[in-house]
Chains A and B, each alone.
Chain A
Amino acid sequence: MGQNSPLKTLLWFTAVILAPMAVADYEPPRTADGKPDLNGLWQVLNTANYNLEARDSRAAMQMREGPVVPVPAKELVPLGAVGAVPASLGVVKDGKIPYQDWARKQRDDNAANWLERDPEIKCYLPGIPRATYMPFPFQIFHNKDALVFSYEYAGAVRNVALSDPGPAPIPSWMGQSWAEWDGDTLVIHTDGQNDQTWFDRAGNFHSEELIVTERFTRTSEHTMQYEATLEDPAVFTRPWTISMPLYKRVGSDDRLMQFNCVTFVEELMYGHLRKEPLQ
């Protein structure tokens, strides 16, 4: 029959051995100057924006004590299942974010006061790395003279310098970024972020000392591995890394829409200042 012929066995072994290597040896499409081509729309398919750390699903982002078990915060009750939170596998490489003791307490306090404190609720610019794993796509414009990230969420944008511009002149919401290549991996260094952005909806935060080093590596026609190492000696005991795949949007999905949420939060932020506040 030839079913167990030495040739087939060899082919099978070859396939098994080479399959994982295929990712490492993936030959990406390249720009004219020979760099991996990162142009296009990319997006995560995970729940990192809910929580970078692993966590089970639950009824709402903000909970309170209930008579039997915790129940959603009063303001979130009408949302029902739409306001519930899916489980997070976690994207932190060593599992837990290495907070200093005071900072972990601060994080827990942030989570307990999520509705008042999460900058995403006010449509504020998301900062780096959160912009990457918001549940929205972003478009990369990339060639030898330009590297711009245009995010659907809040119309955020990151204009990445192609050489080290020196320290950021002042803190800003999206910080100052510059890029270099490490082989076929794009490495982006970001400093100069203010301390107003969070990492997720779980209250994870940082100070103005945060330095982010991101690594973008194309792994297949439709995927790119994303890693970000976060250093902030004012908040964490050591640098830590998050890692997740990005997926390319193709075909009719290859289209960045607009999510200018500034007007969406006017009632929330300024409704109390109307001549006759709405009931």
Chain B
Amino acid sequence: MTKNRNKDETVTQKPGTRRAESSFRDPSGYVFFEDGVLYRQINQAGRAEYQSLMESGLYRGLVEDHLLIPHQEIPDIQSDSPLAFKILKPEPVEFISYPYEWSFSQYKDAALVTLAIQGRALKFGMTLKDCSAYNLQFRRGKPILIDTLSFMPYQEGEPWIAYRQFCQHFYAPLALMAYTDIRLSQLMRVYIDGIPLDLASRLLPRETRLNFSLSIHVHLHARSQKHFADKAINPAMMKRRISRQQLMGLLDSLETGVRRLHWKDARTEWADYMAAHNYTPAALEHKKQIVERFVKRIQPAMVWDLGANVGFFSRIASQRGIFTVAFDLDPGAVEQNYLKMRAEKESHLLPLLIDLTNPSPSIGWQLQERKSLLERGPADAVFALALIHHLAIANNVPLQHLSQFFRGLCHWLIIEFVPKDDAQVQRLLATRKDIFPNYTQSSFEETFSEDFNIIAREQLQDSNRVLYLMEKKNP
């Protein structure tokens, strides 16, 4: 790190430009924002890598197959840094998400895309020099590599430098989700450079030692790391080589290992999502019509659907071509939503795993490498349908705090008030004391009116629930 830092100190920046906080490790270049637009600077140090990517035909092939983010070279923007070689303008990604927010199949698809890219790179005489899961993002419904500088020329005989990172960022988390517990994807929130393999090895069930891929790439890998941790490196070992075919074998073995991982509970335990609500068919249809009317009226550029379940209402927006992020705290719901989205090739929807009572924090170096959920907002519009009782009653959040929370998240708010006599609220109150005298419709309206103007209010058919369209008040 010291080495990189010394290099960085010679980089001057024009006023109005802001270097992305996560972009500091690779001396080949970095990402910055100018007037809100994202650019990537290639440094002289990354010149050969970039030219070989472009001239080998690898870039064209990957972009055609939607595996790598396309970019334009921007000659008009001159960097005042002597280190600069070129400035690129990558096509934007609507919403940056992180591995701990992905469902099992999202994570698995990202891993397989990474291996496919590495396999392709080798055919063009190049190799991935890093394998960070954060370099993969979901765009138009599919994972795509966003780091144009992740490639370097492959030299016959070299082992894969990113093998450790692939195992820590992809294989170990997926194996833990499949074999131990789906919730262990959250370990990625704690370990920013992937799950330590000795920890993964300890957490995986004993029988995974009989699984060939896992026994090698996780269990033996962890032991090898431990074995060599305090050993002096024998120079004769450094001279040993691994042939291209052997390297292809390693990739093949990883790919087979990843492909064979399945989350077994996904289709059974969580099967009955939409059946679990308590609307009559008429009420559900009415709710859908109201949300449609509201969306048509406000024409938002981007929607965040909070508590989206399997994305029934998210699709009202996404099917109109509005980019919609469908958040839910249930890994099964997010998985089902993603599988449906993938099967139907939907391109404006992004299902993600978020617990709103403890949303993704900012993490990493100086707490700035990966952004918190709130830092990635605000959205144009937020849906909070059948959500508020979970926050206000199950999590004891006062209405005033809720109103302020939504105020920070959006301009338009489509929110459903679920009154106390509703069966779902009664269920939440069944085993506890009712300490919520202020949880009433009038108090809800009064409180939210401090931050929002109520534009429309519609009572749901066959139900006491009320849907609101609200617009944020000016500060």
Partners in one complex: no
